[in-house]
Structure 1
Amino acid sequence: MKLKVLATALCLASTVLLPVQVQADTALLDQTRQEQRVQKAHDVQREKGFKLTEAEIRSQRDALLRQRDQLQRETNVLSKSFSENENKLARLEEQLRLETGSLGELFGVVRQAAKELESEMAFSVTSIDRNSHQRVVDEIVAAKTLPSLNQLSGLWKGMEDQILASREMRKVSVPFINGQGHQSEVTAYRLGSMGLIGEQGYLAWDGDRNAAKIYLKQPENGPVLASMAALAQTGVQPAVVDPSRGIMLEQLANSPSLSERLAQGGVVGQIILGLLGIGLIIALFRGVKLAVSRQQINKQLKNPQQPGNNPLGRVLSVYSKEQQRSVEALELRLLETIVDEQQGLEKGLSMLKLLAALAPMLGLLGTVTGMIETFQVITQFGNGDPTIMAGGISTALVTTVLGLVAAMPLLLAHNILSTQSENIRCILEKQGISMVAEQAEKVGKAA
């Protein structure tokens, strides 16, 4: 019974739900169809876009191919024109070479002459007041073609102008740079093309800066502005001329005088010179004393009976006073007197010898000091510029020379004075021995 009821209920339920399911399936089907239609329309639209893009690409490709063909045709035309132009240029060059002939060599000669004239006008003192043809000369130097007749005439006139200027002595106004770097206008005489002469002497002309400056050192009896004015008026005033146009005057500064050499020695060099002066004074004084003593001894030898105030006279005085003593006592007294006289004769010679030995040592000290200074300069600035190290090297070399120069005359003076002193001592000893022998003979006869 219960089963029948359950089956009946299921049948009723399926009868009720069946229309609802059918309706849901129909709606789902319609939705699916709608989406298919939309997707199909979208695919059609995309196909149209692809076809349009393909057409555009083909059109661009065709245009590029046409452009390539056009460029290729133009390239062929240009290549043919280039070959024709090359052949034409070769024919024209050959024709130019045949027509110009020796004019090419002439152009080279003219240009070389123009360069030399340009250099002369740039650095010579004649450019101060004789540079009217500078522009023409510069045009010829910079030209790439054959010069014109006017340019050749200008070059010729420029050369003639420089030749005429080289024989003139003219008063000019030039820019001058003094030692402090200040520039001013000064009056000077241009001596041809060889140099400028101002109030202080020769002036160095700087063509790059168009200004003059004084040379570091002037020659002896060199011309000045006043002497050149007298020469311009009378024409007979002598003048020292530098034919090298400044080269010899520049080298003159590299030849220092004796005082400048001595100044390069520094403090050590001055000390060495002081020792040399002291030693020479001692040597001169002792030499005079020994020479006077030698003359007095020579006179005393001629008159031994009258002892004088000299070394031999004092020895003779001792002999006269001590004749009553024994031979041994007299010998000792004479020896004592001779030793005292020897000390007086050799006075100052030890100092002279010391100074002679000390001078080279001071020279070596100056050498070491100069080399230390040189190495310090090398450490600070390097060794690229030798002029930076010149100060220390000059001190090192000059002090060595001064030490040797001071030692040699002092040693020579010491040797000469020692020889003179030794000769006098030998005379005194010889006379003393003769007097002791005479006293011994007297004692022997009395016995």
Structure 2
Amino acid sequence: MHKLPFIIALFSLSVVQPALAADSLTTKAKVAQKQEQQHNAQREAEFVQQQQTLAARKSELQQRKAELDASIQSLSSAFTDNERTLAEQQKKLHLETGSLGELFGVVRQSAKELQIELEHSVINHEQAEHLTAINSIVAAKTLPSIHQLTGLWQAYLSQISSGATYSEVDLPFVSGSGEMMTINAIRLGHFALLSAHGPISWDGQLASDFPRLPNSVPTSFEAAGIVTGQTATQLDPSRGDIYQQLADTPTLTERFEHGGVVGKIITALFVLGMIIALYRAVVLLSTQHTITKQLKTADTPKDNPLGRVLSVYHREKQLHVEALELRLLEAIMDEQQHLERGLSMLKLLAALAPMLGLLGTVTGMIETFQVITQFGNAEPRVMAGGISMALVTTVLGLVSAMPLLLAHNLLSSKAEAIRNILERQSVGLVAAQAEAQTMERKEAYAA
């Protein structure tokens, strides 16, 4: 009886709690739905505002495009009108100017040539006014005026007349050591400047000495005689170009230096060979002279090749003919060895010189190819050193070999001629000895 109320209360609690939970969930769902509706409404408002902004921007751009299209159309029409007007004006200008355009081109070209001429001429300091007028014609973009044409004509007249005059001028001068000074010089026409020590170079602003001059050159002291024709001399009419080419032409010593070490070796061998050739030539000529004297006194042998052969004959003439012939042949061979001494070395040097020249050629070409590898072949001056060495050594080798070969041939012929004399004399002695022995045998047989 006491448990029944408790059970009833527990049952009532179990029925009421689910109903309360369902009411709570419904309330939460309604709140969430309301919040979502508010958020969607806010987003829709933002979308509508953005759509209105873009529509306004689109309208603005369309209006701007229309304005630009109108401006383009206007500019295109103006450009077409300007082109038509320009073509008409050019046609009108061409009709009005006629051949003046070609004349202007000729005038400008002539003025440019005269400008270059005066800038480097020895009289440019005397024609500064004319040079200013010429510069204005060269720089002009329109047809020259009559004043400018008159100035050009006067400049030509002055240039022509100055070629027949000479005068004394003071010029800025730079010495070989770089020292600046002012010197007095004589101007001959418009192509030469003479100082107290000879012709000087003029680059339009400074005077300087030429790197190299011929042995006999005129000086300022001879200017009056040159003009009047009393002094005969040589002048460079090219304003120093010939003197510059003379400076670029190497001397014999400079060419020898281009040969390098191989060239020096070839020269040393050539000098050695010529010393040997001269010494052997003196010896052979002296020997031939003594042999000529010995032929006149065959009975009194002296200290010379023929005398020594005769000494062997007088010493060994009691031998049989065959033995005597061998003795004389031995003596001739000894003399031949002395006669041909040094000729083999001369022949070797003659053969060695062109081989060394070829070696120098190959060495120079190797150097040239190395330079080409490093710097390319655009600048010939860079390769000139190796090519010069190659050519100079070849020339030195050939020039050295030819006289050495000639000397060897002449000396060999001279030695052969002396040996022929010795052989001829020895054959004669053997023949005389054979006849004597034959007569002795005949006399002995007859007795």
TM-score bracket for the superposition, by shorter chain length: 0.7 to 0.9
1:323 to 291, 313, 317: 317
Match of 2:423 in 1: 429
Is the Cα–Cα contact under 8 Å of residues 126 and 166 in structure 1 kept in the other structure?
A: no
1:228 matches 2:225: no
Q: What is the identity, as a one-letter code, of the residue corresponding to 1:311?
A: P
1:16-27 to 2 correspondence within 5 Å? none
Is the Cα–Cα contact under 8 Å of residues 352 and 410 in structure 1 kept in the other structure?
A: yes
C-alpha RMSD of matched pairs (Å): 4.2
1:144-223 to 2 correspondence within 5 Å? 144-170=141-167, 171-176=169-174, 178=176, 182=178, 184-187=180-183, 188-198=185-195, 201-206=198-203, 210-223=205-218
CA change 1:328–1:73 in 2 (3 A) is closer
Residue 393 of structure 1: CA displacement? 2.2
Secondary structure of the structure 2 residue equivalent to 1:317: helix
Unaligned runs of 5+ residues in structure 2 are 10-26, 442-447
Secondary structure of the structure 1 residue equivalent to 2:249: coil
User: Which shifted more, 269-278 or 431-440?
Assistant: 269-278
Match of 1:354 in 2: 348
Q: What is the identity, as a one-letter code, of the residue corresponding to 2:432?
A: E
Is the Cα–Cα contact under 8 Å of residues 273 and 406 in structure 1 kept in the other structure?
A: yes
Secondary structure of the structure 1 residue equivalent to 2:174: strand
Match of 2:238 in 1: 244
Return the TM-score normalized by structure 2. Answer: 0.76
Is the Cα–Cα contact under 8 Å of residues 196 and 220 in structure 2 kept in the other structure?
A: no
Is the Cα–Cα contact under 8 Å of residues 200 and 214 in structure 1 kept in the other structure?
A: no
Match of 2:107 in 1: 110
Residue 398 of structure 1: CA displacement? 1.2
Return the TM-score normalized by structure 1. Answer: 0.76
Residue 111 of structure 1: CA displacement? 1.6
Match of 1:398 in 2: 392
CA change 1:90–1:410 in 2 (3 A) is closer
Unaligned runs of 5+ residues in structure 1 are 10-27
Is the Cα–Cα contact under 8 Å of residues 187 and 194 in structure 2 kept in the other structure?
A: yes
1:8-47 to 2 correspondence within 5 Å? none
C-alpha distance in 1, partners of 2:109/2:266?
Answer: 59
Match of 1:439 in 2: 433
Q: What is the identity, as a one-letter code, of the residue corresponding to 2:174?
A: F
Is the Cα–Cα contact under 8 Å of residues 338 and 425 in structure 1 kept in the other structure?
A: yes
Secondary structure of the structure 2 residue equivalent to 1:156: helix
Is the Cα–Cα contact under 8 Å of residues 357 and 398 in structure 2 kept in the other structure?
A: yes
C-alpha distance in 2, partners of 1:91/1:340?
Answer: 112
Q: Percentage identity across aligned positions?
A: 51
C-alpha distance in 1, partners of 2:58/2:132?
Answer: 63
Q: What is the identity, as a one-letter code, of the residue corresponding to 2:140?
A: A
Q: What is the identity, as a one-letter code, of the residue corresponding to 2:241?
A: I
Residue 428 of structure 1: CA displacement? 1.0
C-alpha distance in 2, partners of 1:380/1:428?
Answer: 66
Secondary structure of the structure 1 residue equivalent to 2:311: helix
C-alpha distance in 1, partners of 2:307/2:86?
Answer: 119
CA change 1:118–1:183 in 2 (3 A) is farther
CA change 1:168–1:184 in 2 (3 A) is farther
Secondary structure of the structure 2 residue equivalent to 1:133: helix
Residue 438 of structure 1: CA displacement? 1.4
